[in-house]
Amino acid sequence: MLAYAFFFLDLFVKIHALSQQYGTDPPRIHFDEESGLRSTEFDDMYFPPHQGLEAAFHVFCRPNQIQERWKKKTHFCISELGFGTGLNFFATALLWRRSGPASGHLSFRSFEKFPLAPAVIREALSPYQEICDIVDGYCTQAPSPLLGLHRLIFSDLRITLDLYYGEALHSLEETQFSADAWYFDGFAPRRNPEMWSEELFRQIALHSSSGTTVSTFSVSGAVRRSLQAAGFEIERFQGFQGKRESIKGTLRIETRSNWKPPSKIAIIGGGLAGASLAHACDKRGIACTLFERHQELAQEASGNPAGVLLPYIARRPNPMSVLYLLGFEYSLRQLGHLQSKFGLTFENSGVVHFPSTERLEKLWSELEALKLPETIVLKQDSARLKRLLGTSVSSHGFYYPRGGWCAPREYAKALVSDAKLLRIENGTSIEKLDSNDNRWAVISHKRQKFEDFDSVIIANAADCKALIQTSRLPLHSVRGQLSYVDPVPASAQIRQVICYDGYLLPQRDGFQIAGASYDHNNEKKGVSPGQNRQLLARIPQWLPQIDFLSQDLSRGRVAFRASTYDRLPFVGTVPHFEGVPEESSAFVPQQLHLFVGFGSRGLISIPLLAEILVEEIATGQHSLPLTLRRAISPERCLAYLAKRTAT
């Protein structure tokens, strides 16, 4: 019990360390073609005008010998202080495209307090034609200026870019990873001393391993001494053009890593969760087998014809709201990529959210203080909403300009459609897991035995409770019913999703969807006309000219979501539950994992968290800030179960 208490005390402290706002502060800059891009706040240039690309090669890429070193590794990690225009990243990506190993993966992490707008980056880097296509690839998926982790995927290049917006020191304290090379590219130490502090260099050493290299344009004595104190052996090299010298270094402290990446993973469950995991595995060169009890993928809740993409915003940032906001951004990026590649159904023409609860009314009055960018949410009065929707409204509301909806089944199938290392076993329900000598076997309802897996990920929602290892997991099914209706004149032209204490989707294929119920302790699989009436009766309160109640109320769909007691998913290693025999659980760290409990927010959490979990299994790196990681850890349920038992 004491250990559980400390777990939650630590989480409480971390939660209260979160920022009081969601958005970053804007940079103060000046740009002209002669002097280039400058920070007026720090009175320093971002890179030498007209010679930026060569400066990146000279100061960062060559001293770290990245081209020679990454040929010897399947996963190479570069970290950077100061993303700025992204020039160092683009230069590195260019070299990776030319000389990176064909089966390798490059991870690039960069820490930035004042992110630049994509238009500024595009203009500043327009002279460098060699990297223009990579710059375009970045700008089309550039994140909103929100504090926290933003993951961008460059699939064709086999590169993952993690941008941490906010204080670099705080971000490093919240993550666990080891870089092979570091670029120090903050503004000059005398102008921006917090980016060159001894405490920051100590964190850099903690995020490095024996042989990790560093380089920087600075030759400041304080910088050299801080790096040496952190364990780096420092040497000088010829500076770029007018600068006489720069410095580079190598960490000489002995560190060891016994991490063994998996080569074969079993994934149980073929909904959006399982498909997202399989996609992440394939991208990292990991073979996996996906087991689905139905004859096709995405037949349960992931089989709904449409799902809403809408972030959750709390009146004060907390792990739930931050996670779902960053996950919303990631899902939009991934859906945009898959739509351009496969043509799947995805519309992000906006979401109107009426303040249907007291919490939302309070959020309305406090929104400005949270510094949310306009790319996320805008306040709209009733007159503006009437013009936007083309029909009468009874209230003001929030407008999410990039929100929308997609078809979850199409989403899931697109994720696995071009996987090269994926095997799918449809019609296969897994009833038992066995472990022997650090290898896993899964056994089906037909007594088929599939063997020799390094790891198993359980991603079959509430069905996971049928396995003895997860039988005590506090997870429950929640019934969700959708109502299908014919458009009426006032609803037919609406292109936006309308949310209240329910939602109404734009028409598609001649019908509209209203949803969704959220029923505990209800296992009825058939559509309830009475519940459809309840769903549809809510609409005229917000949209007075729209009434579907005279239509056939028997049409719809029922599916069951898996939900947790705190509305956050279980993502990570399966804990050992009391009452489950050790010989049955056979728990080996980092080998048996959970990926369940996403409730009604799977579309804005599953894609990002699948990436995070597979990265952790594959590399041992923890990119997601620990505050968020602990909030979704399955370990937290042990304290919950202990408390329930005690009472």
pLDDT tens string 257-296? 777 889 999 999 999 999 999 999 999 999 999 999 999 9
Instruction: Name the token pair of 403.
Output: 């929100």
Looking at residue 44, its pLDDT comes to 87
Looking at residue 582, its pLDDT comes to 53
Closest alpha carbon to 2 in 639, 646, 644, 641? 639
Looking at residue 5, its pLDDT comes to 46
DSSP string, 554-610: T-EEEEEEEEETTS--EEEEPPPPTTS-HHHH---TTTEEEEE--GGGGGGTHHHHH
Model confidence at 18, pLDDT cuts 50, 70, 90, reads low
Tokens 């709390």 identify what position? 314
Looking at residue 467, its pLDDT comes to 94
Taking only the tens place, the pLDDT of each residue in 466-503 is 999 999 999 999 999 999 999 999 999 999 999 999 99
Model confidence at 588, pLDDT cuts 50, 70, 90, reads very low
Taking only the tens place, the pLDDT of each residue in 5-17 is 444 445 444 444 5
- Work out the angle between the directed axes of helices 606-619 and 319-342 (0-180°, nearest 10): 90
Model confidence at 579, pLDDT cuts 50, 70, 90, reads low
Model confidence at 385, pLDDT cuts 50, 70, 90, reads very high
Residues 6 or more apart in contact with residue 250 via CB below 8 angstroms: 211, 212, 213, 214, 232, 233
What length does the chain have?
A: 647
Going 72 to 76 to 78 to 83, the CA torsion angle's sign is positive
Model confidence at 557, pLDDT cuts 50, 70, 90, reads very high
Instruction: Name the token pair of 597.
Output: 């409990």
Looking at residue 95, its pLDDT comes to 98
Taking only the tens place, the pLDDT of each residue in 336-378 is 999 999 999 999 999 999 999 999 999 999 999 999 999 999 9
CA separation for the pair 15, 636 (Å, rounded): 15
- The H helix count followed by the E strand count for the chain is 21, 32
Instruction: Name the token pair of 225.
Output: 């001494």
Amino acid code (one letter) for 391? T
Instruction: Name the token pair of 11.
Output: 């989480």
Work out the mean pLDDT of the chain and round it to a whole number: 92
Residues 6 or more apart in contact with residue 446 via CB below 8 angstroms: 428
Comparing 383-392, 556-565, 584-593, the range with the smallest average pLDDT is 584-593
Instruction: Name the token pair of 16.
Output: 């209260």
CA separation for the pair 283, 75 (Å, rounded): 12
Looking at residue 580, its pLDDT comes to 60
Determine the Cα angle at 44 with ends 41 and 50, to 5°.
Answer: 135
Looking at residue 445, its pLDDT comes to 93
Looking at residue 240, its pLDDT comes to 84
Do 616 and 622 contact (CB within 8 A), yes or no?
A: yes
Instruction: Name the token pair of 534.
Output: 């309840």
Query: Which has the higher per-residue pLDDT, 49 or 81?
Result: 81
Q: Long-range pairs for 61-66 at CB < 8 Å and ≥24 separation?
A: 61/88, 61/91, 61/92, 61/95, 63/213, 63/215, 63/237, 63/246, 63/248, 64/181, 64/182, 64/183, 64/213, 64/214, 64/215, 64/248, 65/213, 66/92, 66/95, 66/181
CA separation for the pair 122, 481 (Å, rounded): 46
Task: Over range 427-442, report the average pLDDT.
Answer: 92
Taking only the tens place, the pLDDT of each residue in 291-335 is 999 999 999 999 999 999 999 999 999 999 999 999 999 999 999
Listed in order, strand segments (DSSP E) in 318-445 are 346-347, 351-353, 378-380, 397-400, 404-406, 422-426, 430-436, 439-444
Looking at residue 325, its pLDDT comes to 97
Cα of first residue to Cα of last residue in the chain, in angstroms, is 13
Alpha-carbon distances of 162 from 53, 171, 360, rounded to whole Å: 21, 12, 32
Helix/strand/coil percent split, the chain, to 5: 35, 25, 40
Closest alpha carbon to 313 in 251, 373, 267? 373
Taking only the tens place, the pLDDT of each residue in 392-402 is 999 999 999 99
Taking only the tens place, the pLDDT of each residue in 161-205 is 999 999 999 999 999 999 999 999 888 778 888 888 889 999 999
Task: Over range 583-599, report the average pLDDT.
Answer: 73
Confidence (pTM): 0.93
Percent of the chain clearing pLDDT 90 (strictly above): 81
Looking at residue 241, its pLDDT comes to 80
Do 265 and 253 contact (CB within 8 A), yes or no?
A: no
Distance of alpha carbon 479 from its chain centroid, rounded? 26
Percent of the chain clearing pLDDT 70 (strictly above): 95
Q: Does residue 97 have a pLDDT over 90?
A: yes
Burial of 221: CB neighbours in 10 Å, binned 0-12, 13-18, 19+: exposed
Do 52 and 45 contact (CB within 8 A), yes or no?
A: no
Closest alpha carbon to 262 in 235, 227, 289? 289
Do 115 and 145 contact (CB within 8 A), yes or no?
A: yes
Q: Please name every residue paired with 251 in a beta bridge, in sequence order, or none if there are none.
A: 232
CA separation for the pair 144, 237 (Å, rounded): 38
